[in-house]
Structure 1
Amino acid sequence: MAGTPLHPVDVLLLLTSGKRVLLGLRAGTGYADGQWNLPSGKLELGEDAIDAVVRESREEIGIALDGGEVRAVATVQHRGRSGLVRLGLAFAAEHDPGRHGEPFNAEPHKCARIGWFPRTRLPAETFPSSAACVRAYLDDSRFVRSG
């Protein structure tokens, strides 16, 4: 019998503004540097997924989301080059500057810059699991594989 699998769980935010989505350009981490990524992070031990996406949004892009504003839109299974499988829970929220504040690069040691992009024309350098989440959101797919 194989050992118990340990799959990291990520939470990802599709922060939209009309037909645009916010992405951050990874830098200085040694993982996916030079690629655009949705604001995201790992679910911490014992943490609720909605609390995690609210926390990651505050930590990465400095916005104040309320857990009641985000809705689950997709699950992505990403297999990296190493073969490790990660599960990502993607949530969406429409940006409201009055309630959330303006997004900014709150982690310049991990992110070179942030930017808004058309949801249907992501940069070529978008990380595969982030691109898969956006496609799933647009196609109203609940589960998608990446990598």
Structure 2
Amino acid sequence: MTRIDDTGHPARPATRTPGTEPPTLVVGVHLVLLDEGLVLLGWRRNTSYANGLWHVPAGHMEPGETVTRSMTREAEEELGILIAEHDLTLVHTLHHLDADDGRSRLQLFFRPARYDGRVRNAEPHKCGELRWWPLDGLPSNTVPYTAHALGEIVRGGTLSTVGWPA
């Protein structure tokens, strides 16, 4: 016999423990600038995460922003370039379980169709150097999930996971 709830609809079994909240995801945005088989990476310094490692220009969504606005803001802040939101293409989504803090993170990798301005290191206090690297020759001290995502992008993979138990 089907139980009816107080709204007159069939009752649904509980899918989570009462009083628990759904998981909160941290959303990261990453810019994949490519030029003839080379990708732009920045060497992180004076940062709380991945200090001394190479990483694509990246940041986090801020409250009230769309993911595309977050990416255009980060591109302007870090590289001094302007990108129209409609010129961004999502090229990879990575669901990452961070071993350092145990948080679930959704890492979105965007490639711009075009941008205005000249790429420059607009945050030298956080980035020691910008350099173009061959996609098949990334430095050994690249942020591991970044190296993974770039490899997936080269292979045409649009979705992957890292850090989750098998």
The correspondence for 1:92, drawn from 104, 108, 111, is 111
Contact 1:21-1:119 at 8 Å conserved across structures: yes
RMSD: 1.5
Contact 2:26-2:103 at 8 Å conserved across structures: no
Identical aligned residues as a percent: 35
Contact 1:35-1:125 at 8 Å conserved across structures: yes
1:114 partner SS:
strand
Contact 1:132-1:145 at 8 Å conserved across structures: no
Question: Counterpart of 1:13 in structure 2: which amino acid?
Answer: L
CA distance in 2, matches of 1:30, 1:40: 14
Shift of 1:109: 1.5
2:32 partner SS:
strand
- Structure number with the higher helix fraction is 1
- Structure number with the higher strand fraction is 1
CA distance in 2, matches of 1:136, 1:45: 29
Unaligned runs of 5+ in 2: 1-16
Shift of 1:54: 0.8
Shift of 1:5: 1.4
Contact 1:16-1:93 at 8 Å conserved across structures: no
Q: How does 1:126-141 map to 2 (within 5 A)?
A: 126-141=142-157
**Length-normalised TM-score, structure 2:** 0.80
CA distance in 2, matches of 1:103, 1:3: 42
Q: How does 1:1-147 map to 2 (within 5 A)?
A: 1=17, 2-81=20-99, 82-93=101-112, 100-147=116-163
Shift of 1:11: 0.6
**Length-normalised TM-score, structure 1:** 0.90
CA distance in 1, matches of 2:148, 2:81: 24
Q: Between Structure 1 and Structure 2, how many residues are aligned?
A: 144
Question: Counterpart of 2:128 in structure 1: which amino acid?
Answer: A
State the structure with more CA Rg: 2
CA distance in 1, matches of 2:145, 2:81: 22
CA distance in 1, matches of 2:36, 2:81: 17
Contact 1:28-1:110 at 8 Å conserved across structures: yes
Contact 2:31-2:71 at 8 Å conserved across structures: yes
Unaligned runs of 5+ in 1: none
Shift of 1:84: 1.6
Q: Deviations over 1:39-62 (max 9, x none)?
A: 110011121111111110010111
Which structure has more relative contact order (CA 8 Å, sep 6+)? It is 1
